[in-house]
Amino acid sequence: MTTPVLQVDALRRSFGPATVVDGVSLRVDPGETVGLLGPNGAGKTTTISMIAGLLRPDDGSVRIQGVDMAKDPLAAKRHLGLVPQDLAIYPELSARSNLFFFGRLQGMRGTALRRRVAEVLDVVGLTDRATGASKTFSGGMKRRLNIAIGLLHEPRLLILDEPTVGVDPQSRNAILESVEALSGEGMAVLYTTHYMEEAERLCDRIGIMDAGRVIAEGTRDELVEITGGADTVTLVGEGPLDEVEVAVAGIPAVREVRRVAGERRLVMMVQGAPQAISAIVATATGAGMTLRDVETSRPDLESVFLHLTGKALRD
Amino acid sequence: MGRVLVMVGSDLRQQVLDRSIFIFGLAVPLALMWVFSLIFAPLAEELEPVTVAVSGPADDPLTGTLVETLGGLDDAVDVTVLEADAADVPALLADGEVGAGVLVPDGFSAALADGDAPQVQVRLPESPGLEGEVVTAVVDGVLRQFTATARTAAAAEELGGQPEEVDAVLAEDAATGPSVGWAQGETADEQLSARESIVAGQAGFFLLFTVGFGVLGLVVEREWGTLARLLSMPIPSWWVLLSKGLSSWLLGVLATGVLLLAGSLLFDDVHLGSPAVIAVLLLAVVAAATSIMFVIAKVARSAEQAGVAQTIVAITLGMSGGAFFRVSSEGALGTMLQLNPVTALGRGLGITAGGGGVVDLAPVLLAMGLMCVAMAALAVRVPGRRDVL
Ligand SMILES: Nc1ncnc2c1ncn2[C@@H]1O[C@H](COP(=O)(O)OP(=O)(O)OP(=O)(O)O)[C@@H](O)[C@H]1O
Ligand SMILES: [Mg+2]
């Protein structure tokens, strides 16, 4: 059995009375991409801060390449590349200067550093914008530079904390492609996001995180199994939604109904949506709902999250 | 440790690219030095000689004392007393022959002895100079002292004292003269002229802003996320702190050095002493100022908060350190003030301007060392926002 690149055991951390991370365990093997999927405030960044040695856990342990972060932080950090959620770049400096600066702090120098800077600029597609001050970059370019810095020293473990936030679809695709390429080269990747599509596309395994806990963990297909293969149906519209909720819950194919807080939207888990949809629509309109939109989807991580927590992943 | 220098180098480079250090560290303080020296320096330094016309009863002891006091103001303003008739005073003032007129009523001493408050009038020309105000202030001070003495004596008389005793007390006052004077507001240990004080004060005040450029960068970098990135690197976290401290310190020493040099070149009457000794003073004073920034960086939740806290600290230390007007405090507060880097810079430059060497600076250097230790201890102690830094 190979040593995992990252082994996290029962991490726990409170801020004052609030327990923000509550017993998180994770394992990432070489070449594997593991996702942490969870809504805002789930504790993803706090977990990553403890893994990267930025925050002391109240309890639990972190090992990178078998090195305990608490016992020998410098040795553990040598194998780690962190891409923080915030744009961790110096705005006054160019892309190249940012890379040279962080490269030197990683202990790189000379031709090896120069060669590697050129390589990562190429990977993230910033070669022709290497010299201008990075404050003039678009959001997507800044994100790409943020990632390039994390890759520079060819770490065994790359941690990306929501690397595509605020990025246009094109840059986003470029970012996802480079992450796929890296894991293809054998890098272990820990990837947090609250975009279900990204987790589904990139990750070999996914941990679903909510309120400080990993509430389910497995491959995409394993996770979807949890819902028993139910489809998701979403009704959008106005009317006496409380009464509509009760009415549609009476349909045998409908397994669960939730109101999305603050929105005129009912989300339900349905066994065999294509067959049941006409009955659902008829019941809802019969109960007084004016429909604006009806969406059905095959079981996905969104439905898993809804099933497990009763909340939508993004609201 | 080479990597500490990499961080310091990158920091300094970014400060140069950002340019605010040139504005707030050099341009603004230089402009203020110049403006303040235009406004304030003449007040203490360039009082013209003045002639004061005094009319009063002949052979009146207390009138004599008043005249002597005015004539004895030599150190501050050169006063010539001209005895005149009350009726002539307006004409003398109108012609510009005298800068002030003092009219003492008949029976002045006697009225005082009776516990009355006789009216002494000070007449000034249409646009009195500062000299006229000095004369007014001195006359006012002398009168207060006379009346206070007389009142005390009158009260003593009512309680059973003898009238002769009262007269004796007043006679004594007349003989020794009241302790009213007009000295330039210099404290004993400062040998700086008014203009030199302005240069030293502004340099000290703005130092508290310059040293923010390195250390308070910690708060900014916390917001940017670059601090998280630095701490995820295989370097000890205290190297990051050290590099920020070094950046602040270098910037502070350079900017303050340039300001003092510019002040000396700009004004020909500013002489601060040996550059080598001043350099030693700067190293210590800037280190102490830097240490304060670490406390701010630790408690501030955002760059904005840090900026506000820094401004409050700068104004408090600037005012109490005499950057805007002279202050002198004694006792415990005065001792505490010796720890203030702005006070220390002024005091230290007073010593160097007076020809003192490094040995003479020892108390100032010691105070700054104490300040560094105290602030470092405080920075470690106060609860911060994040645990690692
Ligand atoms: N230093 C801190 N002090 C107090 N509370 C904190 C601190 N850091 C995080 N928290 C709280 O911990 C909770 C989890 O925060 P965290 O940043 O880990 O969530 P997240 O899953 O990364 O969310 P997002 O998707 O918005 O980035 C939040 O409620 C947050 O307010
Ligand atoms: Mg986060």
* Token representation of residue B345: 């810079």
Q: Which of A20, A196, A213 to mutate for ligand 1's pocket (most ligand atoms within 8 Å of CB)?
A: A20
* Token representation of residue A296: 């059905």
A250 and A184 co-located in one domain = no
A147 and A176 co-located in one domain = yes
pLDDT of residue B386: 52
pLDDT beyond 70 at B52: yes
CA-proximal residue: ligand 1, atom 5 (nearest): A15
pLDDT beyond 80 at B146: no
**B388 pLDDT band (50/70/90 cuts)?**
very low
- Partner residue facing A101 (CB), from B6, B234, B388: B6
Question: Whose CA is closest to B139, among B227, B68, B235, B47?
Answer: B68
User: Cα–Cα distance between B103 and B124 in angstroms, integer?
Assistant: 11
β-pair type (A290-297, A231-238) = antiparallel
Report the pLDDT averaged over residues A74-87. Answer: 94
Report the pLDDT averaged over residues B276-295. Answer: 96
Q: Which of A44, A209, A313 to mutate for ligand 1's pocket (most ligand atoms within 8 Å of CB)?
A: A44
* Token representation of residue A132: 């201008």
What's the structural domain count of chain A?
A: 2
**B61 pLDDT band (50/70/90 cuts)?**
confident
Judge whether B234 is closer than 8 Å to chain A, CB to CB.
Answer: yes
Q: Where are the domains of chain B?
A: 2-42+192-381, 49-175
User: Cα–Cα distance between A273 and A256 in angstroms, integer?
Assistant: 13
Give every CB contact of residue B152 below 8 A, 6+ residues apart in sequence: B169
Q: What are the chain B neighbours of A82 within 8 Å (beta carbons)? A: 228-229, 232
| Residue A1, in any domain of the structure | no
Report the pLDDT averaged over residues A79-87. Answer: 93
pLDDT of residue B159: 60
Q: What is the DSSP letter of A167?
A: -
**B389 pLDDT band (50/70/90 cuts)?**
very low
- List the single range of A66-70, B128-132, B192-196 with lowest mean pLDDT: B128-132
pLDDT of residue B166: 54
**A67 pLDDT band (50/70/90 cuts)?**
very high
A204 and A173 co-located in one domain = yes
Using CA coordinates, name the residue in chain B closest to A108: B3
* Token representation of residue A80: 């780690």
Tell me the per-residue pLDDT of B206-243, one tens digit each, with 9 for 90 and over. Answer: 999 999 998 999 999 999 999 999 999 999 999 999 99
Tell me the per-residue pLDDT of B291-305, one tens digit each, with 9 for 90 and over. Answer: 999 999 999 988 999
Nearest-5° angle of CA A163, CA B14, CA B316? 105
- CB-based contact B40:B246 (threshold 8 Å): no
Question: Nearest 5°: phi and psi at B100?
Answer: -165, 155
| Residue A175, in any domain of the structure | yes
pLDDT of residue B180: 41
Contact between A82 and B232 using a beta-carbon 8 Å cutoff: yes
Percentage with pLDDT > 70 across chain A: 99
Q: Is the CB of A40 under 6 A from ligand 1?
A: yes
Q: Is the CB of A167 under 6 A from ligand 1?
A: no
- Partner residue facing B228 (CB), from A84, A101, A107: A84
Tell me the per-residue pLDDT of B162-209, one tens digit each, with 9 for 90 and over. Answer: 556 556 655 665 555 444 433 333 333 446 887 888 899 999 999 999
CA-proximal residue: ligand 1, atom 30 (nearest): A41
Q: Which residues are bridge partners to A27 per DSSP?
A: A7
pLDDT beyond 90 at B369: yes
Q: Which atom of ligand 1 is nearest to the CA of A42?
A: 21
pLDDT of residue B59: 82
Q: What are the chain B neighbours of A149 within 8 Å (beta carbons)? A: 229
CA dihedral B33, B38, B42, B43 (to 10 degrees): -80
Question: Whose CA is closest to A160, among B389, B225, B240?
Answer: B225
| CATH 3.40.190.10 given to domain B49-175 | yes
pLDDT of residue B153: 64
More confident residue, B362 or B100: B362
- List the single range of A5-19, A76-90, B264-278 with lowest mean pLDDT: B264-278
CA-proximal residue: ligand 1, atom 17 (nearest): A45
Pick from B7, B220, B224, B233 the residue to mutate for testing the A interface (most A CBs within 10 Å).
B233
Judge whether A305 is closer than 8 Å to chain B, CB to CB.
Answer: no
Nearest-5° angle of CA B258, CA B26, CA B196? 60
CA-proximal residue: ligand 1, atom 28 (nearest): A41
More confident residue, A189 or A195: A189
pLDDT of residue B157: 61
Q: Which atom of ligand 1 is nearest to the CA of A39?
A: 25
Q: Is the CB of A41 under 6 A from ligand 1?
A: yes
pLDDT of residue B185: 34
Kindly list the distances between the CA atom of residue A24 and the CA atoms of A59, A99, B285, B303, in Å, as whole numbers in the listed order: 10, 33, 49, 32
Judge whether A105 is closer than 8 Å to chain B, CB to CB.
Answer: yes
Residues 12-51 of B with CB under 8 A from A: 13-14, 17-18
Question: Whose CA is closest to A80, among A139, A28, A144, A141?
Answer: A28
User: Cα–Cα distance between B281 and B263 in angstroms, integer?
Assistant: 17
Q: Which of A11, A12, A15 to mutate for ligand 1's pocket (most ligand atoms within 8 Å of CB)?
A: A15
Kindly list the distances between the CA atom of residue B304 and the CA atoms of A46, A155, A178, in Å, as whole numbers in the listed order: 24, 35, 37
Tokens 């990306």 identify what position?
A: A160
- What CATH number is associated with residue A67? 3.40.50.300
pLDDT of residue A63: 97
pLDDT beyond 80 at B385: no
Question: Whose CA is closest to A144, among A173, A181, A165, A175?
Answer: A175
Report the pLDDT averaged over residues A32-42. Answer: 92
pLDDT of residue B156: 61
pLDDT beyond 50 at A189: yes
| Reduced 3-state DSSP string for chain B | CHHHHHHHHHHHHHHHHHCHHHHHHHHHHHHHHHHHHHHHHHHHHCCCCEEEEEECCCCCHHHHHHHHHHHCCCCCCCEEEEECCHHHHHHHHHHCCCCEEEECCCCHHHHHHCCCCCCCEEECCCCCCHHHHHHHHHHHHHHHHHHHHHHHHHHHHHCCCCHHHHHHHHHHHHHHCCCCCCCCCCCCCCCCCHHHHHHHHHHHHHHHHHCHHHHCHHHHHHHHCHHHHHHCCCCCHHHHHHHHHHHHHHHHHHHHHHHHHHHHHHCCCCCCCCHHHHHHHHHHHHHHHHHHHHHHHHHCCCHHHHHHHHHHHHHHHHHHCCCCCCCCCCHHHHHHHCCCHHHHHHHHHHHHHCCCCCCCCHHHHHHHHHHHHHHHHHHHHCCCCCCCC
- List the single range of A240-244, B244-248, B275-279 with lowest mean pLDDT: A240-244
Farthest CA pair distance, chain A: 74
Contact between B229 and A77 using a beta-carbon 8 Å cutoff: no
Task: Kindly provide the ipTM of the predicted complex, given to two decimals.
Answer: 0.83
Judge whether B262 is closer than 8 Å to chain A, CB to CB.
Answer: no
Q: How many CA atoms lie within 13 A of A95 on its CB side?
A: 28
- What CATH number is associated with residue A249? 3.30.70.100
pLDDT of residue B42: 58
More confident residue, B104 or A158: A158
The distance from CA A283 to its chain's CA centroid, rounded to whole angstroms, is: 37
Q: Which atom of ligand 1 is nearest to the CA of A85?
A: 27
| Residue A305, in any domain of the structure | no
Give every CB contact of residue B33 below 8 A, 6+ residues apart in sequence: B198, B199, B202, B259, B263, B266
Give every CB contact of residue A15 below 8 A, 6+ residues apart in sequence: none
pLDDT of residue B170: 58
Q: What is the DSSP letter of A93?
A: S
Q: Which atom of ligand 1 is nearest to the CA of A55?
A: 1
User: Cα–Cα distance between A75 and A97 in angstroms, integer?
Assistant: 26
- Element spanning A10, H or E: strand A6-15
Question: Looking at CA atoms only, how far is residue A280 from chain B in angstroms?
Answer: 48
Report the pLDDT averaged over residues A78-97. Answer: 94
pLDDT of residue B179: 44
Mean pLDDT over each residue of chain A, to the nearest integer: 91
d(CA A82, ligand 1 centre) in Å: 18
pLDDT beyond 80 at B272: yes
User: Cα–Cα distance between B157 and B151 in angstroms, integer?
Assistant: 10
Pick from B20, B226, B230 the residue to mutate for testing the A interface (most A CBs within 10 Å).
B226
Tell me the per-residue pLDDT of A284-293, one tens digit each, with 9 for 90 and over. Answer: 999 999 999 9
More confident residue, B179 or A258: A258
Kindly list the distances between the CA atom of residue B360 and the CA atoms of A81, A123, B278, B283, in Å, as whole numbers in the listed order: 53, 62, 12, 16
Tell me the per-residue pLDDT of B313-336, one tens digit each, with 9 for 90 and over. Answer: 999 999 998 888 777 777 778 888
A110 and A246 co-located in one domain = no
Q: What are the chain B neighbours of A104 within 8 Å (beta carbons)? A: 3, 6
| Residue A204, in any domain of the structure | yes
Tokens 């659902």 identify what position?
A: A280
Q: Which of A224, A240, A270 is the last residue of a domain?
A: A224
| Residue A304, in any domain of the structure | no
More confident residue, B178 or B253: B253
| Residue A152, in any domain of the structure | yes
* Token representation of residue B6: 């990499």
Mean pLDDT over each residue of chain B, to the nearest integer: 83
More confident residue, A309 or A233: A233
* Token representation of residue B155: 């009260």
Q: Which residues are bridge partners to A232 per DSSP?
A: A269, A297
* Token representation of residue B359: 């040995």
pLDDT beyond 60 at B150: yes
pLDDT of residue B173: 56
Q: Which domain holds residue A243?
A: 230-298
Contact between A75 and B387 using a beta-carbon 8 Å cutoff: no
pLDDT beyond 70 at A174: yes
pLDDT of residue B193: 81
User: Cα–Cα distance between A97 and A95 in angstroms, integer?
Assistant: 6
Tell me the per-residue pLDDT of B28-46, one tens digit each, with 9 for 90 and over. Answer: 988 888 888 777 665 445 5
